[in-house]
Amino acid sequence: MMVVTVVVIGVAKQSSAAPGATNDGTPEPTSGAPPQYDVPAGEGDPPLDAEALRIPFDDGAVPEAIAEALHNNRNAPLGDRITAISEAMMGAPYLNDATGEGTSPDFDPPVRYDAFDCLTFVEEVLALSLAPDVRGAAAVRNSLRYGDGQPRTYEDRLHFMLQQWVPQAIEAGWVRDITAELGETRLMKKTVTLRNWQWWKGRRLFLLPDSRLPTGSFRLPVLTPGAAWDAAPDIPDGAIVLTVRESKDHVPIIVTHLGFKVSSTLPDKPFFRHATKMGKRPRVRNDWLRWYVEHNRWYHWWPVAGFTVLMPQEAGPRLSRLAAEEQRIAKARAAQKRVTEGTH
């Protein structure tokens, strides 16, 4: 099977992330099951050589509405940038496992703006909000998704929130855990063994060898549901709110969803902005944060333990490291191009 990758750089001339979608920011509390963990599915082809995939794909075109939000808020506080950029994505359809590496085993594009799942929505908003400009977003995105200096392969992607994505984002300095600053917390502890992964029915959706499944003991502080309800208006704009479930022995995950806290026109009724499967038209949308907390609090199929709050951090000294990484990638691309041209 031939896979053709079309690379476009620039700003797309379109008015919104999802043409024709509602973009008024109105919350739409909807009955039904809260969003569950977004697990990726992909083709079953064997992965390509990791060394050949160290150079990431170029990014596609950024929709005009998103580029305009980025430009108009480039000097605004980080929370305001996150709010504005995420608002430009309102209404974009929900799509599970929306991105990949553009090659086997996950042929989805490395970045897209026509659809999101809960994690790719957060990653893209952070990438655009934390980067100095649009072209710098790839370095932030790749750091969040793979870790600094790691190959951009399916096996190296940080698939699991508790075991990989959250601790790496904290260690790299992209976010800070502020959960304990907001109210009564509970420390969630989770020990994961290889047998937990093998017994979990979701294991088949991750095209990873057993050796790449994270095992060990992990901890995550959470606000109890009551404390989260009380603290909702005090959570800073742009903070990432993670939904954390009670531990099940046969399930290696406990973090099932995430989105941003953003303010509304009502001081005591902030929004939870997220890409969600809830409702008749799954999409990026707003819900009242307190409603979301209560909706999950009484969902008994997989009870919620609480909510973790991570506050994105200005890049600061990391900018120089990102610039060095971009230069390394540019040199690698140039070297690869010379080798390719030399074979023709």
Domains and CATH numbers, the chain: 33-334 (2.30.260.10)
Cα→Cα distances 222→85, 195, 245, 308, Å = 27, 26, 10, 5
**Could you write out the three-class secondary structure of 221-261?**
EEECHHHHHHHHHHCCCCCEEEEEECCECCECCCEEEEEEE
CA–CA gap between residue 322 and residue 315 (Å, rounded): 9
- The amino acid present at 163, given as its one-letter code, is Q
- Do 110 and 57 contact (CB within 8 A), yes or no? yes
Residue that wins the pLDDT comparison between 34 and 270? 270
User: What's the whole-number average pLDDT of the chain?
Assistant: 83
pLDDT of residue 238: 98
pLDDT at position 6 = 32
CA dist., res. 239 & res. 271, Å (int) = 11
Q: Which of 18-22, 166-170, 332-336 has the lowest mean pLDDT?
A: 18-22
pLDDT tens digit string along 187-244? 999 999 999 999 999 999 999 999 999 999 999 999 999 999 999 999 999 999 999 9
pTM, entire model: 0.78
Q: What is the mean pLDDT of residues 78-100?
A: 96
Q: Is the pLDDT of residue 8 over 70?
A: no
